[in-house]
Amino acid sequence: MGVGREPCSRLFETDRSVDAKRVGLEGHSRYGKATIVAMAYDQRFAIAFISSSGEGGAKLHRRNWGELVENVAAPNEYHWMAGNFLKYSGPLNVNDLPVDSHELVALCAPRPVFLSAGATEGDGWVDAKGTFLAGVGAGPVYKLLGKRIWGPRSSQPWNRH
């Protein structure tokens, strides 16, 4: 994703059979993490589908549920994140992070981002609620940029964890 994004973008911009302004991204799990970062930093993409990105993706870092910063920044998991993130599994911790995932989602605004995390029960590692809350937390930026914000119609599925 990170390496392939750039050449693909350039190809789409030069191929007349592709409307380069309507190209989207999608990614699941590890590639969900890469997709949300690519969407945030590359304005050429129109939409993104982020699936089960978990910790280090769209899930709120400071929500103590499911996969945690310590899981993706542990000494034996160094390949998941950049070196400067690893310090947040020691000596620093999640509360020392200067940002959280809702701000990463907000960087995608005003372009649509579909956040998916599966079931609220059975796959707690992904933390569907934490992903949902990151989307809600990005809402004010979407609103500021003239987009209609969304939110829960009911708190029913979100009152369990």
CB 90 within 8 A of CB 127: no
Per-residue pLDDT tens digits for 67-78 = 889 888 887 877
CB 77 within 8 A of CB 142: no
Neighbours of 16 (CB within 10 A): 6
Per-residue pLDDT tens digits for 106-145 = 999 999 999 998 776 666 788 888 999 999 999 999 999 9
Neighbours of 62 (CB within 10 A): 14
At residue 155, the pLDDT reads 47
Q: What are phi and psi of 34, to 5 degrees?
A: -65, -35
* Block residue for tokens 């929500």: 63
Q: Is the pLDDT of residue 160 over 50?
A: no
Residue 156: which pLDDT band, with cuts at 50, 70 and 90?
A: very low
Biggest alpha carbon distance in the chain? Answer: 52
Neighbours of 105 (CB within 10 A): 28
d(CA 161, CA 156): 11
| 115 against 1, higher pLDDT | 115
Q: Looking at the whole model, is its pTM more than 0.75?
A: yes
Per-residue pLDDT tens digits for 21-60 = 899 999 999 899 999 999 999 999 999 999 999 999 999 9
Q: Is 145 exposed, middle or buried (0-12, 13-18, 19+ CB in 10 A)?
A: exposed
At residue 116, the pLDDT reads 93
CB 35 within 8 A of CB 48: yes
Q: Assign 6 to helix, strand or coil.
A: helix
